[in-house]
Amino acid sequence: MTSPAALPGNLPDGIFEDILLRIPPDQTAFLARVSTVCKGWRNLLLDPRFRHRYATFHGRTRPMLGFIYPDDEVEVIPRFVPTTALAPPRPGRRGLYTVDAHHGNVLFCDEGVVWEDPSAHREFVVWDPITRSEWTVPMPESSGRSWTAAVHCGAAGCEHLDCHGHPFLVAYVYIDDDKVNFSARVYSSEAAAWSGKNSAEHRHAQIGQEAFVNNIFDPYKVLVGNVLYFNLDIHEMIIQYDLASRELSMIDPPDVNTGDILLMTAEHGGLGFAVRRQQGSSIELWSMEVDAHQGVEWVQSRVINLETLLPLSALSRRTRIVMIGFAEGVGLILISTEFGVFTLELKSGQVRKVCSSEMIRGHVIPYMSFYHPGHARGILPPDHEDAAVHPPT
């Protein structure tokens, strides 16, 4: 490993490295300042072995650097809202719809695809905000109108401590044109091709396309181990897609029919579900339990009273409270009010205001990553007008 130069006070080898290990991952400004002291310190922070130690030391949990949401007052523009001290973003190109973010990458599609514009480019854009690398992925030729997708690491045996960019996989789940079956296909950046499809029949006789808004499923999705879960929302069904076996199936959600609902990872690590009843000021947390016969049972684990956590201004009768996202790994629920966006840390119950903008009514996509000075040039949305598309290497 690179030895840092000019250590303060002639510290013994290894001591300074141990000091750097203890810098909290969300203290991005401090990490950036340390990297500018000298070349040796910068090289140490960028050394892959040190980064692996750093991620392991901090519990293998990537911090949330911010979240992405479409600013669609005029046209859809992916907007990155930093929740740590990063360089402010510049606007990216218009017309991208944010679909997902996992393992250091963000997945977009052409906004026209969502609205069925025949002139839209039928492709995904996979973007690594840290390195600003970018790849395009053609959407499958044969697919239904209603769909959802997720991006995740495609490296065999990866521990997902600090993976970024290529190789990646894109899982694409959609309703067949017969409106009876769900199907899934996976794109591999290494093979540069889509897999064949796996299908499962929906429990209803037929699925009405009119049940889906903008031809895309409920945007909330969660990755638990090697299994992706998508919320079908109106049909009261959760789609389960095993990335290892490529099996597609459906499970019933908790018996809740009103209020905000949010897929999440449970506090014990399995699949979870958060519910905020209409006009309510509390959040119910549910966890999925599987019995010896592979039957699914939902258990309410606890109820969080927001009245003791949010400021009074965010709890007035005129203020609407909406759950808009969940940050996996760190266990953060993002809550939008007319007085800004707050994060609720489930483990500690700590609430922090992370955005002072007007109320965000749609979903947001949290972005999780360790910040590496020298690799990161600011979190900037992709701009096709002045940035070339980098092919997989």
pLDDT at residue 381, rounded to an integer: 47
pLDDT at 307 over 70: yes
Stretch among 6-15, 197-206, 291-300, 361-370 having the lowest mean pLDDT: 6-15
Measure the N-to-C terminal CA separation of the chain; round to a whole number of Å.
Answer: 25
Average pLDDT score, the chain: 77
Tokens of 309: 């956590």
CB 286 within 8 A of CB 270: no
The owner of tokens 């031809």 is 215
Nearest CA to 42 out of 72, 69, 2, 8 is that of 2
- Cβ atoms of 70 and 79 closer than 8 Å: yes
Domain ranges of the chain: 8-52, 63-252+368-393
Pick 364 or 391 by higher pLDDT. Answer: 364
Query: Looking at residue 57, what is its pLDDT?
Result: 85
Q: Residue 54: is its pLDDT beyond 70?
A: yes
Between 19 and 272, the higher pLDDT residue: 272
Q: Is the pLDDT of residue 121 over 80?
A: no
Task: State whether the Cα torsion 356-357-361-362 is positive or negative.
Answer: negative
| Residue, of 229 and 34, whose pLDDT is higher | 229
pLDDT at 378 over 50: no
pLDDT at 144 exceeding the cut of 80 = no
CATH class entry, domain 63-252+368-393: mainly beta
**Position 204 pLDDT exceeds 60:** no
**Measured distance CA(373)–CA(393) in Å, rounded:** 22
pLDDT in tens, 191-202: 999 998 888 876
The pLDDT score that the predictor gives to residue 391 is 29
DSSP one-letter string for 37-89: T-HHHHHHHH-HHHHHHHHHHTTT-PPEEEEEEE--SSS--EEEEESSS-PPP
Can you tell me the distance from the alpha carbon of 178 to that of 40, in angstroms, rounded to the nearest whole number? 61
pLDDT at res. 345: 93
Query: What pLDDT is recorded for position 379?
Result: 46
Edge-to-edge strands, sheet with 248-251: 221-224, 227-231, 238-242, 248-251
| DSSP 8-state assignment for residue 197 | P
pLDDT at residue number 271 = 93
Q: What is the mean pLDDT of residues 107-124?
A: 75
Predicted pLDDT at 386: 34
Looking at residue 210, what is its pLDDT?
Answer: 44
pLDDT band at 282, cuts 50/70/90? confident
Between 158 and 388, the more confident residue is: 158
Q: What mean pLDDT is predicted for residues 319-342? A: 87
Whether 256 contacts 246, CB under 8 Å: no
Taking 50 as the threshold, does the pLDDT of residue 393 lie above it? no
| Cα–Cα distances in angstroms (integers) from residue 220 to residues 204, 327, 328, in the given order | 22, 11, 12
**Average pLDDT, integer, range 201-224:** 60
Question: For 116-120, 187-191, 249-253, 386-390, which range has the lowest pLDDT when averaged over its residues?
Answer: 386-390
| pLDDT band at residue 238 using 50, 70 and 90 as cut-offs | confident
At which residue do the structure tokens 């390195």 appear? 131
* CA gap 103, 81 in Å, rounded: 18
